[in-house]
Amino acid sequence: MTTYLLTGARPLGGDPTDMLIADGVVAAMGADARRGGADARTGGADVVVDAAGLVLLPGLVDLHTHLREPGREDAETVESGTRAAALGGFTAVHAMANTTPTQDTAGVVEQVWRLGRDAGWCDVHPVGAVTVGLAGERLAELSAMARSAAAVRVFSDDGKCVHDPVVMRRALEYVKAFDGVVAQHAQEPRLTEGAQMHEGVISAELGLTGWPAVAEEAIVARDVLLAEHVGSRLHVLHLSTAGSVEIVRWAKARGIDVTAEVTPHHLMLTDDLVRGYDPRFKVNPPLRTAADVEAVREGLADGTIDTVGTDHAPHAREDKDCEWGAAAFGMTGLETALSVVQATMVDTGRLTWADVARVMSTAPARIGRVAGHGRPVAVGEPANLTLVDPAARRVVVPEEQATASVNSPFAGRELPGRVVATFLRGRATVLDGAPVERGVHV
Ligand SMILES: [Zn+2]
């Protein structure tokens, strides 16, 4: 196995140090990193990576990725989506269950898990559907999925809300047996029928049917109380409103076992972008107001919101290149997530790089019960690592990304930061900002 010497890297943005990566682990750090060989420059490593000025993070973990396979391979495959993930600095992603067929049986989750393992870009943890076919009626084979080779711990009907309170209660009770978590897409369906964008001043002006904040907040409030009642774990996906942040803050103060996520796009973009009717800005939950953006940034900074999840949602061109009303909901995000977090949270002084490691690696790994990821950057730990150049700037060009879809809301924007290298158990999946095909090194 190729060995790597990283020179002058800054773990979690701290003081520069050298690191030797060998046998899948962080073999040595500091002066010890060059002691392995006679050559003082390389320390005996096969490949030297000049990491001066670069920030070294634990490999990023995404709790919320749509890989679209099986069923919509025209929008994304496990291979293309996980290559995009590696380029975005991720070493593990959770693949959402709204595939065709649905990931609601042990057979389908094992298929996705195997596709991820064979692609080799990052670890793929399939999310299991809560209900059969995401129909919201009968619980899926939760324990069979948990006991399968895919070892599912995160269950979600994402794309749809588990709106029936009895079904939600049963799911929360059921997953306790195997330390699982229910990840809710909080959207009261009756309050959002026909919704096209956030309900507010701009939806009124444009004459589009609104998706009111209360439709999210009502479900978040109900679910934290259900989680408390049955003593189970709840994860709230893509929290987008100031009111939701308040409810989660209250629930945590009360001791309820709830965690929450925000997407990069909800940290940066607002509903006034809808004025141009560009379907790239159509997403669910919708882009909200500047006050909501401020509230989710504050929530992420003070720990009310635990994680950033990409909600990477690739769509084929025919589903997005159409009028606003007919376009699909969703945006790509794996290859821009870290840059958006840097722009909105790090460069504004609200999070340190150590905090970024917490919200994009440690916390999602803990919530998803992912072993070997989200670990400290330390000797003896699995070498799941991301090397970032925070001084770089680049303009987002969706056609140049690895994802098979081009529906990035950041197209044409200049963003800070660039992932220079990603290591999965000591093997480089990305070097010099480019993907490393299996077994082929620079
Ligand atoms: Zn969702």
Query: Per-residue pLDDT for the chain (442 aa), expressed as one digit of tens each?
Result: 999 999 999 999 999 999 999 999 999 999 999 887 667 778 889 999 999 999 999 999 999 999 999 999 999 999 999 999 999 999 999 999 999 999 999 999 999 999 999 999 999 999 999 999 999 999 999 999 999 999 999 999 999 999 999 999 999 999 999 999 999 999 999 999 999 999 999 999 999 999 999 999 999 999 999 999 999 999 999 999 999 999 999 999 999 999 999 999 999 999 999 999 999 999 999 999 999 999 999 999 999 999 999 999 999 999 999 999 999 999 999 999 999 999 999 999 999 999 999 999 999 999 999 999 999 999 999 999 999 999 999 999 999 999 999 999 999 999 999 999 999 999 999 999 999 986 544 3
Any known ligand binding at 315?
Answer: yes
Q: How far apart are the first and last CA of the chain?
A: 14
Quote the CA–CA distance of 100 and 103 in Å, as a whole number.
8
Smallest CA-to-CA distance from 281 within 249, 327, 238, 245 is with: 327
Q: How many CB atoms lie within 10 A of CB 225?
A: 16
Residue ranges covered by each domain of the chain: 4-56+379-441, 59-367
Quote the CA–CA distance of 249 and 297 in Å, as a whole number.
13
Q: Report residue 227 as tokens.
A: 């989680």
Quote the CA–CA distance of 3 and 20 in Å, as a whole number.
7
Quote the CA–CA distance of 162 and 287 in Å, as a whole number.
22
Any known ligand binding at 311?
Answer: yes
| Residues with catalytic roles | 311
* Ligand 1 center–CA 122 separation, angstroms: 22
pLDDT in tens, 146-161: 999 999 999 999 999 9
Contact criterion met (CB below 8 Å) for 60 and 86: no
Q: Which CATH number fits domain 4-56+379-441: 3.40.640.10, 3.30.365.10, 3.40.190.10, 2.30.40.10?
A: 2.30.40.10
Any known ligand binding at 265?
Answer: no
Any known ligand binding at 66?
Answer: yes
* Ligand 1 center–CA 379 separation, angstroms: 37
Any known ligand binding at 208?
Answer: no
Which positions ≥6 away from 46 have C-beta within 8 Å? 2, 3, 4, 441
- What pLDDT shows up at residue 441? 47
Quote the CA–CA distance of 399 and 427 in Å, as a whole number.
27
* Ligand 1 center–CA 87 separation, angstroms: 23
* Ligand 1 center–CA 17 separation, angstroms: 40
- What pLDDT shows up at residue 38? 66
The CATH fold of domain 59-367? TIM Barrel (3.20.20)
Which positions ≥6 away from 190 have C-beta within 8 Å? none
pTM of the model: 0.97
- What pLDDT shows up at residue 271? 98
Phi/psi at 165 (nearest 5 deg)?
-65, -30
- Residue corresponding to tokens 């209250």: 250
* Ligand 1 center–CA 36 separation, angstroms: 48
- What pLDDT shows up at residue 386? 98
Any known ligand binding at 384?
Answer: no
pLDDT in tens, 107-136: 999 999 999 999 999 999 999 999 999 999
Q: Report residue 344 as tokens.
A: 């909105």
Quote the CA–CA distance of 125 and 82 in Å, as a whole number.
11
* Ligand 1 center–CA 313 separation, angstroms: 9
- What pLDDT shows up at residue 35? 81
Quote the CA–CA distance of 116 and 382 in Å, as a whole number.
19
